Amino acid sequence: MTKLEGYLKQFVIQFSGLKPGLHEYEFDIVDMFFERFNIEDVTGGNLHVNFLLSKRENMMDFTFKFDGKLHSSCDRCLESMDIPVQTEKELIVKFSDATDESNDELVVLGFDAYQIDIAPYLYEFIALELPLRKVHDENDCNPEVIDRLHPENNESAEEDETPSVWDKLKKLK
């Protein structure tokens, strides 16, 4: 068993021997998790997860509380940055003979199931927490990169001496 497989084993919850009621788990999601799932734009992270499992006769309710940060790169200057994550997500697991009723909020398992791998669900929850646009505060971006990308904002930028295509077209009028 590789180190990654050993790490991911903690996310497989064996519920068959658990008595009905509340069961609490804690674990940390670290860079190894992101190696396995390759979340786009995330280079790593460190999230602490409190996980509460409420087991009943024919269903289970999972509540996940995430607290930590993800490592990514700024969309503006491409420097590394941390994205804070503090959220709570819920997943309901139902036992049934028909296992094709699963959707985003409900997972259906057969009556013979004895464990569930929650890592793919954690991946989805984390991916949903990424903002559409990941940028530093304007003063935290790398000024050298910003100056190269936007020379018009730089007072010392030299004017382009070669005429643009539009200037040539204007002369044809």
Does the residue 94 lie in any domain? Answer: yes
Distance CA 54, CA 63 (A): 8
pTM of the model: 0.77
- Please state, in angstroms and as integers, the Cα–Cα distance from residue 86 to each residue in 26, 57, 103, following that order: 15, 31, 24
Distance CA 103, CA 145 (A): 43
Range of the domain at 38: 3-153
Please state the domain count of the chain: 1
Average pLDDT, the chain: 85
Residue 100 has pLDDT above 90, yes or no: no
Which helix (H) or strand (E) segment is 33 a member of? helix 31-37
Residue 157 has pLDDT above 50, yes or no: no
Does the residue 138 lie in any domain? Answer: yes
Does the residue 40 lie in any domain? Answer: yes
pLDDT given at position 136 = 84
